[in-house]
């Protein structure tokens, strides 16, 4: 399961690595404007958003491993298209192709298949930590390698990382076990009736949308407005990485071990909103640091809490929908940031985000504290026993895994 989390992190490293310099690179391409640059930053998320559920269903039919490998190959191909692009529209096409390998939901479903009730929270927290670490590493590698060898080389690295992930997939990741549940697979309509899931989804939307905005404005402000050299951007990202590394275990421990998940969500939102305030008053380095801290505080627990709140027959749909909403945030974040920056300037953009951020915090204040489950297992059971658990209001979920009946009671 560690290798599956590593594959997810490698994929995200490939996508994140270009972000610190992508805005500057794209703005110098033929036909580029700040609006099309914003679209290029978030374009991969548009195809991710529409194809998440399709890839999930394909993985149910053809097997998780083969669909994961297919998605990674598409990521490699899209990265090579980006590497050779000389105009903004080819870059946008390459970014759309990168995102067409929409395997995020498949990986999450795969992890859920492999996890036990005792290890699920730890597994998803570890995956979040791996992704957050990949995010941090990309902040160092991207500006240094990209400034020296060109952003094109970063797309080549992404293609190579995708191939490496395929090798790890077939050599190190076990096949998923058989799981039987007693309800039809949930529809999207059923999932979005869960108000607590919607609050988690909104958090993912805001977190990922703000990520793209920060990645767009940071290099433009420091290079184009303040006159920094592209190579000097590491001076901004490295301190932010240090604070981000501190935030990862803090968020995971508070949410998973201390039962303070709601507090982690609220603190994360507050730090990211504070980063916008820092940008407004021209404390740019502080703004980047505050954002990274808030982002990495939430990342280790975001998917974990989706898996906890959703029941077993809802998990694949809930996680795919959650990923789609996050990718919608990425696409809209890039597009809206580009449009507002081009026509109204930085201040208008930051004030809009500030208003949305305050609304986000207000929503999170209504979030219920997740108290966990009491899990019981039965090696011997019958249909009458299962029906009894299904009709018990204190039972959150009941299913069979590896011929053992598992019942999750609400605390």
Mean pLDDT by 10 residues, the chain (411 residues): 82 86 92 93 89 80 87 95 96 94 82 72 74 80 88 94 93 76 65 88 96 92 90 86 84 83 96 97 96 90 79 72 89 93 94 96 91 77 79 75 76 68
- Say if CB 134 and CB 57 are below 8 A apart: no
Helix axis angle, 195-219 to 346-364, nearest 10°: 160
Scanning the structure block, which residue is given the tokens 């700040």?
34
Q: What is the pLDDT of residue 250?
A: 87
Q: What is the pLDDT of residue 32?
A: 93
Q: CA-based Rg of the chain, rounded to a whole angstrom?
A: 21
Q: Which residues pair with 377 in a beta bridge?
A: 406
Reported as type and span, the H/E element at residue 135 is helix 120-149
Q: What is the pLDDT of residue 291?
A: 95
Q: What is the pLDDT of residue 299?
A: 84
Q: What is the pLDDT of residue 372?
A: 66
Q: Which residues pair with 397 in a beta bridge?
A: 408
Comparing CA positions, the residue from 227, 225, 233, 357 lying closest to residue 288 is: 233
Q: What is the pLDDT of residue 141?
A: 87
Query: Please, which contacts does 338-346 make with residues 24 or more away whose CB atoms are closer than 8 Å?
Result: 338/33, 338/34, 338/35, 338/36, 338/37, 338/38, 338/39, 338/41, 338/216, 339/34, 339/35, 339/38, 341/34, 341/38, 341/216, 341/217, 341/220, 342/33, 342/34, 342/35, 346/217, 346/221, 346/279
Identify the three-state secondary structure at position 172: helix
Comparing CA positions, the residue from 288, 25, 27, 244 lying closest to residue 154 is: 25
Specify the pTM: 0.80
Instruction: Report the alpha-carbon distance of residue 16 to residue 12 in Å, rounded.
Output: 6
Scanning the structure block, which residue is given the tokens 């207000």?
362
Instruction: Report the alpha-carbon distance of residue 25 to residue 129 in Å, rounded.
Output: 29
DSSP 193-221: T-HHHHHHHHHHHHHHHHHHHHHHHHHII
């Amino acid at each position: 399961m560690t290798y599956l989390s590593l594959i997810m992190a490698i994929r995200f490293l490939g996508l994140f690595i270009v972000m610190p310099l992508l805005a500057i690179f794209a703005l110098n391409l033929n036909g580029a404007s700040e609006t099309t640059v914003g679209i290029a930053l978030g374009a991969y998320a548009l195809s991710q958003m529409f194809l998440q559920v399709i890839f999930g269903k394909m993985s149910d039919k053809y097997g998780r491993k083969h669909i994961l490998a297919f998605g990674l190959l598409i990521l490699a191909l899209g990265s090579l298209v980006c590497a050779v692009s000389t105009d903004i529209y080819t870059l946008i096409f390459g970014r759309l192709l990168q995102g067409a390998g929409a395997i995020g939901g498949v990986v999450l479903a795969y992890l859920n298949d492999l996890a036990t009730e005792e290890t699920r929270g730890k597994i998803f927290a570890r995956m979040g930590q791996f992704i957050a670490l990949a995010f941090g590493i990309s902040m160092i590698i991207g500006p240094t390698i990209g400034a020296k060898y060109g952003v094109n080389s970063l797309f080549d690295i992404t293609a190579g990382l995708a191939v490496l992930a395929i090798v790890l997939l077939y050599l190190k990741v076990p096949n998923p076990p058989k799981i039987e549940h007693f309800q039809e697979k949930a529809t999207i309509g059923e999932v979005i009736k869960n108000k607590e899931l919607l609050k988690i989804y909104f958090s993912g939307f805001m977190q990922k949308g703000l990520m793209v905005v920060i990645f767009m404005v940071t290099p433009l402000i420091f290079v184009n407005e303040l006159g920094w050299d592209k190579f000097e951007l590491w001076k901004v990202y490295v301190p932010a990485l240090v604070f981000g590394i501190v935030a990862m275990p803090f968020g995971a421990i508070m949410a998973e071990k201390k039962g303070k998940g709601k507090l982690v969500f609220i603190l994360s939102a507050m730090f990211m909103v504070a980063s916008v305030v820092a940008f407004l008053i021209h404390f740019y380095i502080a703004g980047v640091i505050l954002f990274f801290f808030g982002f990495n505080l939430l990342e280790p627990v975001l998917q974990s809490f989706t898996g906890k709140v959703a029941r077993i027959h809802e998990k694949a749909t809930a996680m795919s929908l959650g990923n789609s909403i996050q990718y919608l945030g990425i696409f809209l974040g890039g597009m809206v940031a580009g449009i507002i920056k081009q026509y109204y300037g930085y201040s208008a953009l930051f004030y809009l985000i500030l208003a949305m951020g305050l609304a986000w915090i207000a929503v999170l204040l209504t979030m219920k504290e997740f108290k966990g489950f009491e899990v019981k297992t039965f090696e011997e059971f019958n249909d009458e026993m299962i029906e009894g658990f299904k009709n018990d209001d204190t039972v959150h979920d009941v299913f069979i895994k590896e011929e053992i009946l598992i019942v999750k009671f609400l605390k």
